[in-house]
Structure 1
Amino acid sequence: MKFANAALALLSLGLVPASARTIPVKRDQSIIVADDDLKIPGDSPLELCPGAHENDIIHIERVDLAPNPPEAGEDLVIKAVGTVHQTIEDGAYVLLQVKYGLIRLISTKADLCEQVGNVDLKCPIEKGDLSLTKSVSLPAEIPPGKYTVIADVYTADDEPITCLTASVQFSRSGRAMGFLGVEL
């Protein structure tokens, strides 16, 4: 369960508890393609999901992770800056998937407003500029391999807030590795 928390923390949306139940997805989450146009600025592996984002309620301007790449058993500091274009009310939710290689480990739906307290926010999240800094302890027991996290976020009325993804490769030594095993 700690890994699910760390996974969502990588996406700077809060710490969502893991659940094994299957949930419906609203966007195609089967293929994640690296695209410089989708890369969130900053020092992180964070990207927007493929698709249109001009109507998203949150525009993320920058996300920085320290360390980047994250390391198993270490604290991860997340700094994020963005703009909320309309107030986010109770009932907003996150569809979270965590994959280990091709294996789906987690597929869950979580109440966004219950989770934002973990990043020192509360609902309603008011319209305007937003900045947050959060430190999260990553478990030392993260098995080596490639993890892909997808967080698709919606209002209570099913309007898209944002959709984010990140991929991180953890090595046996705990260091995260990039594409083809090259240390990031």
Structure 2
Amino acid sequence: MERIRSKLFIALLYSLSLIAPSIYATDFEYCNKKKEYAVTVSGVEINPDPITKGQETSFTISAFTDKPLSGGKVVIGVAYFGWSVFSETGDLCASISCPIPAGDLTISYSKLLPALAPPGSYTLTLKIQDGNKSELTCIKFDFTIGFFGSSEGLFDG
């Protein structure tokens, strides 16, 4: 009986270790630590964490603005060991309804990562610009893609 309890306990700990990483926020830093941005970021969450190749990954940014925003752009850049490998510019109002009132806001961004994405360290830079291309905020955070992941797409056509 004690052996069964021990195995159940180990299984429970393993299950929690798979769930727990997606609960915690990712560390981030502002692109310019001396600048006071109009939009302050309070947290970044990555789901799933760790990231799995060949699956959609969501990045959720929690932020605050003390002034309403009528619109703008979201500029995303990804670097792999310092080399730019992806960039995209989108309408801020596509990920959150505009106008954005003063207060808390959440921006979500999802992307299907290719099954053949090389493993290693990546840095994502996210900028929010107003209609005049003035930077409202700019943050950077690191993430890792492991050696193993989904095999979807490896043997397609």
TM-score, normalised with respect to structure 1: 0.54
Q: Distance in 1 between matches of 2:48 and 2:86?
A: 24
Q: Distance in 2 between matches of 1:147 and 1:140?
A: 15
User: Percent identity among equivalent residues?
Assistant: 23
Q: 1:46 aligns with which of 18, 22, 28?
A: 28
1:106 aligns with 86
Q: Distance in 2 between matches of 1:156 and 1:135?
A: 23
2:67 aligns with 86
Q: 1:96 aligns with which of 65, 76, 85?
A: 76
What amino acid is the match of 1:151? L
Q: Distance in 1 between matches of 2:61 and 2:75?
A: 20
DSSP-derived class of the 1:149 partner: strand
Q: Report which of the two has the higher share of helix.
A: 2
TM alignment of 1:1-184, pairs within 5 A: 43-54=25-36, 56-90=37-71, 92-107=72-87, 110-113=89-92, 116-117=93-94, 119=95, 121-131=96-106, 137-174=112-149
Unaligned runs of 5+ in 1: 1-41, 176-184
Unaligned runs of 5+ in 2: 1-23, 151-157
Q: Residues 134-164 of structure 1: CA distance to partner in whole angstroms, max 9, x if unpaired?
A: 7654443322232222122221234321101
DSSP-derived class of the 1:124 partner: coil
Q: Report which of the two has the higher share of strand.
A: 2
What amino acid is the match of 1:141? L
Query: Would the aligned equivalents of 2:26 and 2:44 in 1 still touch at CA under 8 Å?
Result: yes
Query: Would the aligned equivalents of 2:74 and 2:126 in 1 still touch at CA under 8 Å?
Result: yes
What amino acid is the match of 2:83? I
In the superposition, relative to structure 1, how do residues 141 and 77 fare at CA in structure 2: closer, same or farther (>3 Å)? same
Structure 1 or 2, whichever has the larger Rg, is: 2
DSSP-derived class of the 2:70 partner: coil
Aligned length: 127
In the superposition, relative to structure 1, how do residues 45 and 63 fare at CA in structure 2: closer, same or farther (>3 Å)? same
